[in-house]
Amino acid sequence: MNRYIKWIISTYRDFISDLTKKYQSEILDIYECQTTGSTKAEIKLSGRHIIEKNLGEVVTDLNLLEGFDKKTIRTLVYLATVERLKPDYSIVVQQLGAEVDEFILEIRSRNNQSTVKRSPSDMSKDKSFLSKLSPLDANRVGYLAGVNETVKEFKIKSAKGHSNVKDSI
């Protein structure tokens, strides 16, 4: 019984010391930067200094991380991981081109918010670009490129079929 009481007292002391411990750094705000599209943290350092850093930079700076409590570190690492998993590009507009089977996709970059127009066939050949899209957008690109290629094959087959009919007459 005596060991149990000592253990409770020791646990209580640890709990109180954790409550009273003042950490050097504190997160004031976490927000998405409008110009870069990245998630930033506003950090109050031990004094009155306030800095802004990307979450990726915060979780890789060991000296800065030492100033936070364990729960804050865990939260920052989670948020940085979620941000890292976000796609770099997304499809914002899907337009029909000059032909019935031709599509033009407008792609927006997450980092600099610029947009580029490309055909699904061109994008489907660039594996590194496809890996930077969400799975849903990459699937859309593949589907549209497949539709375009299928229509081209039918046109080729129908053109060959008509020429064979003319040759036999």
Q: Mean pLDDT in runs of 10 for the chain (169 residues)?
A: 76 70 80 80 85 90 88 90 85 75 81 80 87 90 87 84 54
Residues 114-137 have pLDDT tens digits of 788 888 888 888 888 888 888 999
User: Looking at the whole model, is its pTM more than 0.85?
Assistant: no
Q: Exposure string (b/e) for 116-146, b if CB count within 10 Å is 16 or more?
A: eebbbbebbeeeebbebbeeebbebbeebbe
